[in-house]
């Protein structure tokens, strides 16, 4: 059943999540993400799901962790300050291999910053916001339609790899309203349950995430955020258990990078002038590239894990590289890993809800 | 010799427990298991235990043979809430320390109680942060010397049971670890007669290592002292202020059987959208 709806990115996320099978939502109000919560409160009960308004974001993230273990696909949505409060819980989800989707509708920070104004300042936090060695997946949509399509993808990745997925969306997309085709999910990843002999926290091949037991089915599962062996027993002293665990949790993501990492090329694929971008800065970039020609746009959909080999390949032979960002420079660090920093032109702008205009990009392209 | 009734609820392979010699957590475990046994609970397949971080939080994880989630410090209640809401058929029990549940997780405790969330929460008030070597907790007595109150605790302790009794919680009780039978019966009640809504049992059991030994007493001597110190709330209410401070009020603070959060939520949705 395909429907054409006029939706904001925030609303599109709700319908996408429901079509992905999300049946539990816990959240705490915060601009510019609250519409997700409002619509979830209304829609989830209609499909037999459960909604709860948590007392704070610490509760919200931990509630969705509990619900996920009880067998429901679960998500929350927030913005900068709330995302900061959720970090410890996200780290716990990484350590316990709990599938979750966390939407961060980005506003200008730090601190309360500008609550209603778009930004891209949480990129590094989404990747590295937790203590310890930990790896998760970060995805960024570019349009409300993609908010719908990619949130389904986010749930599939969360389930397939037993990992929290951060859905990093600019306020411009969250509040931007466009036609969204609600086309339903092509495929949904179904959680694999273990047999009695399969450990819930280990696998021989680190690329294959362990199956996930569901609470209440006699598995007597031990879930802990402390270092544990493949059956969940704590080992807070040994080198081997810890090293093996955190290495596997990393490899589970990075060794599947070919399956997880997605990007898209726009404009002239052979051009030596290249714009690298994600989220809301991509449409002005594509527009600029089309207007002046001779420009390729490399648009990252997956922001983590980032395939640096692919990035290097796409930038090999580049003449000028432009990185527009609604922050003071974060994505540029990735580009600088594969291309000389001195030859990268940056456009940084943040605050006041002002986008990066195509004309500004053109100016840099032609300078 | 017959096997101890508690063993079937334990993961034998991880015994003995990691608790200090004489730790009162063992008495609580015994009471819990006796309550299960007397209720005819054969195994804990349909139970989920959720705990945070601390010695008390180790009771379920890894010792109790059931599904358990050993969560972050202070976050047991929200995780338990998520589990219960996602599968209301499960019996969800939170066990944790006073630091975990009343300090870092205090806000969750208040709000789960206010919501009358369908959970049983057992809080071990050992008067300190046991696991991290006995620092002052919100329950530490006024004047007590601990590593973080080397000149005496300037703060006054929190009466957690009374605070929770002031919310919409259905069932609130406090027992001393020396009051074994009422404690066991209270756990039974909180799983049978009062099986819905928020149920809170505070277990007063001073840390044997960081409170009792600092006082120069053995766990046994302290138990004898507690038998005098812990009195029924009715008696305590009639005491002078000075006398009250020397005693611990115990008993059932509140026992109601109102519909819990889940029933209420489902009722509103059924009213608005028709039966599911
Ligand atoms: C966020 C966070 N802060 C601090 C700690 C360190 N910590 C571990 S246990 C604990 C106190 C536990 O005290 P309590 O909950 O009373 O349990 P007890 O050991 O006394 O049973 C603390 C502060 C932690 N693990 N996480
Ligand atoms: Mg304590």
Question: How close is the Cα of B98 to the center of ligand 2, in Å?
Answer: 5
Distances (CA, A) of B265 to A50, B158, B258: 9, 31, 13
A3-182 against A263-366: fold identical: yes
State if residue B184 touches ligand 1 by the CB under 6 angstroms criterion.
no
State if residue B97 touches ligand 1 by the CB under 6 angstroms criterion.
yes
- Predicted confidence at residue B2, as pLDDT, reads 85
In a domain, B15, yes or no: no
| Nearest alpha carbon to residue B33 among B52, B47, B21 | B47
Question: How close is the Cα of B217 to the center of ligand 2, in Å?
Answer: 19
Indicate the number of domains in chain B. Answer: 1
| Nearest alpha carbon to residue B95 among B240, B216, B203 | B203
Q: What is the mean pLDDT of residues A4-11?
A: 98
* Atom 24 of ligand 1, residue of closest alpha carbon: B73
- Predicted confidence at residue B275, as pLDDT, reads 62
State if residue B56 touches ligand 1 by the CB under 6 angstroms criterion.
yes
In a domain, B6, yes or no: no
Q: Rg for chain B (alpha carbons), in Å? A: 18
| Nearest alpha carbon to residue A102 among A112, A115, A92, A116 | A92
pLDDT in tens, A38-83: 999 999 999 999 999 999 999 999 999 999 999 999 999 999 999 9
**Binary contact (A67, B85; C-beta < 8 A):** yes
ipTM above threshold 0.90? yes
Number of A–B residue contacts, CB under 8 Å? 134
Q: Do residues A227 and A245 make contact, with C-beta atoms less than 8 angstroms apart?
A: yes
Residue B255 sits in a domain whose CATH number is 3.40.50.970
Residues of B in contact with A72 (CB under 8 A): 86-87
The residues, any chain, with a CB within 8 Å of residue A84's CB and separated by 6 or more, are: A125, A129
A132: contact with B, CB 8 A cutoff:
no
Sign of the CA dihedral B226, B22, B53, A96?
A: negative
> Domain map of chain A by residue range?
3-182, 263-366
Please give, rounded to a whole number of angstroms, the shortest distance from the CA of B175 to a CA of chain A.
Answer: 28
The CATH number of A263-366 is which of 3.40.50.920, 3.40.50.720, 3.40.600.10, 3.90.380.10?
Answer: 3.40.50.920
| Nearest alpha carbon to residue B124 among B103, B146, B96 | B96
Q: What CATH code would you report for A3-182?
A: 3.40.50.970
Please give, rounded to a whole number of angstroms, the shortest distance from the CA of A57 to a CA of chain B.
Answer: 10
Atom from ligand 1 closest to the CA of residue B124: 21
State if residue B131 touches ligand 1 by the CB under 6 angstroms criterion.
yes
| Nearest alpha carbon to residue A347 among A282, A268, A291 | A282
**Binary contact (B82, A65; C-beta < 8 A):** yes
CA B28, CA B50: separation in Å to the nearest integer?
Answer: 16
Nearest chain A residue to B61 by CA: give it: A222
Distances (CA, A) of B228 to B28, B225, B253: 19, 6, 20
In a domain, B220, yes or no: yes
| Nearest alpha carbon to residue B172 among B108, B233, B81, B88 | B233
Interface of B with A (CB under 8 A): 11, 14, 45-46, 48, 50, 61-62, 65-72, 74-75, 77-87, 89-90, 107-108, 110-111, 265, 269, 273, 276
Q: Rg for chain A (alpha carbons), in Å? A: 20
Q: Do residues A106 and A80 make contact, with C-beta atoms less than 8 angstroms apart?
A: yes
> Packing angle between helix A57-69 and helix B76-86, nearest 10 degrees?
50
State if residue B139 touches ligand 1 by the CB under 6 angstroms criterion.
no
Indicate the pLDDT class of residue A1, thresholds 50, 70 and 90: confident
Q: What is the mean pLDDT of residues A105-133?
A: 98
**Binary contact (A219, B67; C-beta < 8 A):** yes
pLDDT in tens, A136-162: 999 999 999 999 999 999 999 999 999
Give the residues of chain B that fall short of pLDDT 70: 275-276
Parent domain of B50: 21-232+243-273
CA B171, CA B120: separation in Å to the nearest integer?
Answer: 9
Dihedral angle at the C-alpha atoms of A34, A38, A40, A45, nearest 10 degrees? 160
Question: How close is the Cα of B78 to the center of ligand 2, in Å?
Answer: 19
CA B29, CA B10: separation in Å to the nearest integer?
Answer: 10
Per-position DSSP letters for B42-100, written without gaps between them = --EEEEEEEE-SSTGGGIIIIIBSEEEEE-STT-HHHHHHHHHHH-TTSEEEEEEEHII
**Binary contact (A24, B79; C-beta < 8 A):** no
Question: How close is the Cα of B127 to the center of ligand 2, in Å?
Answer: 6
* H-type alpha helices, B136-260: 160-165, 180-191, 219-229, 233-237, 241-245
Ramachandran angles phi, psi of A29, nearest 5°: -60, 135
Dihedral angle at the C-alpha atoms of A367, A267, A166, A2, nearest 10 degrees? 150
The residues, any chain, with a CB within 8 Å of residue A239's CB and separated by 6 or more, are: none
Dihedral angle at the C-alpha atoms of B260, B263, B268, B271, nearest 10 degrees? -150
Tell me the two tokens of residue A194: 């273990």
CA A56, CA A44: separation in Å to the nearest integer?
Answer: 20
Please give, rounded to a whole number of angstroms, the shortest distance from the CA of A146 to a CA of chain B.
Answer: 28
The residues, any chain, with a CB within 8 Å of residue A11's CB and separated by 6 or more, are: A5, A35, A36, A39, A144, A180
Q: What is the mean pLDDT of residues A243-260?
A: 98
Q: Do residues A169 and A104 make contact, with C-beta atoms less than 8 angstroms apart?
A: yes
Nearest chain B residue to A26 by CA: give it: B82
Ramachandran angles phi, psi of B86, nearest 5°: -75, -30
**Binary contact (A24, B66; C-beta < 8 A):** no
């Amino acid at each position: 059943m395909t429907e054409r709806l006029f939706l904001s990115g925030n609303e599109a996320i709700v319908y996408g999540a429901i079509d992905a099978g999300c049946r539990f939502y816990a959240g705490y109000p915060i601009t510019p993400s609250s519409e997700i919560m409002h619509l979830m409160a209304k829609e989830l009960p209609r499909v037999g799901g459960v909604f709860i308004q948590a007392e704070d974001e610490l509760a919200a993230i931990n509630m969705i962790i509990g619900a996920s273990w009880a067998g429901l696909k679960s998500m929350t949505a927030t913005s900068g300050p709330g995302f900061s409060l959720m970090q410890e819980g996200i780290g716990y989800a990484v350590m316990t291999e709990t599938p979750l989707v966390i939407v961060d509708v980005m506003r200008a920070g730090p601190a309360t910053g500008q609550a209603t104004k778009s930004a891209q300042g949480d990129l590094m936090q989404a990747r590295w916001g937790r203590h310890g060695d930990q790896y998760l997946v970060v995805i960024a949509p570019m349009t409300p339609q993609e908010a719908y399509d990619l949130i389904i993808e986010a749930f599939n990745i969360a389930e397939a790899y037993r990992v929290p997925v951060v859905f990093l969306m600019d306020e411009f997309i969250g509040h931007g309203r466009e036609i969204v085709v609600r086309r339903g999910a092509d495929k949904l990843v179904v959680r694999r349950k273990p047999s009695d002999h399969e450990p819930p926290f280990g696998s021989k091949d680190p690329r294959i995430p362990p199956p996930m037991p569901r609470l209440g089915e006699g598995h007597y599962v031990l879930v802990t955020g402390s270092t544990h062996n493949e059956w969940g027993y704590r080992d807070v002293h040994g080198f081997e258990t810890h090293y093996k665990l955190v290495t596997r949790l990393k490899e589970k993501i990075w060794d599947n990078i070919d399956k997880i990492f997605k990007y898209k090329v726009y404009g002239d694929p052979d051009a030596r002038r290249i714009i690298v971008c994600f989220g809301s800065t991509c449409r002005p970039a594509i527009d600029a590239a089309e207007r002046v020609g001779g420009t390729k746009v490399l648009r990252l959909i997956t922001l983590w894990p980032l395939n640096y080999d692919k990035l290097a390949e796409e930038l090999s032979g580049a003449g000028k590289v432009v990185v527009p960002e609604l922050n003071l420079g974060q994505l540029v660090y990735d580009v600088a890993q594969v291309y000389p920093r001195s030859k990268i032109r940056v456009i940084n702008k943040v605050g006041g809800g002002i986008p990066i205009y195509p004309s500004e990009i053109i100016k840099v392209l032609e300078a | 010799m017959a096997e101890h009734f508690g063993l079937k609820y334990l993961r034998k392979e991880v015994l003995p427990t990691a608790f200090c010699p004489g730790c009162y957590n063992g008495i609580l475990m015994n009471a819990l298991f006796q309550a299960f046994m007397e209720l005819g609970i054969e195994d804990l397949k349909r139970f989920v235990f959720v705990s945070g971080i601390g010695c008390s939080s180790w009771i379920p994880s890894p010792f109790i043979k059931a599904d358990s989630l050993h969560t972050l410090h202070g976050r047991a209640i929200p995780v338990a809430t998520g589990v219960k809401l996602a599968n209301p058929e499960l019996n969800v029990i939170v066990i944790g320390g006073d630091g975990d549940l009343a300090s870092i997780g205090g806000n969750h405790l208040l709000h789960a109680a206010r919501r009358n969330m369908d959970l049983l929460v057992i809080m071990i008030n050992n008067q300190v942060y046991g696991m991290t070597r006995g620092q002052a907790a919100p329950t530490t007595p006024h004047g007590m010397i601990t590593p973080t109150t080397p000149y005496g605790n300037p703060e006054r302790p929190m009466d957690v049971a009374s605070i929770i009794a002031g919310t919409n919680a259905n069932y609130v009780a406090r027992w001393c670890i020396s009051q074994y039978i009422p404690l066991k019966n209270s756990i039974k009640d909180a799983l049978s007669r009062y099986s819905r809504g928020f149920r809170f049992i505070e277990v007063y059991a001073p840390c044997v290592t960081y409170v009792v030994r600092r006082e120069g007493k053995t766990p046994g001597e302290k138990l004898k002292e507690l038998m005098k110190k812990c009195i029924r709330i009715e008696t305590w209410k009639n005491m002078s202020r000075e006398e009250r401070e020397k005693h611990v009020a115990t008993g059932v603070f509140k026992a109601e059987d109102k519909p819990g959060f889940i029933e209420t939520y489902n009722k509103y949705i059924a009213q608005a959208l028709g039966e599911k």
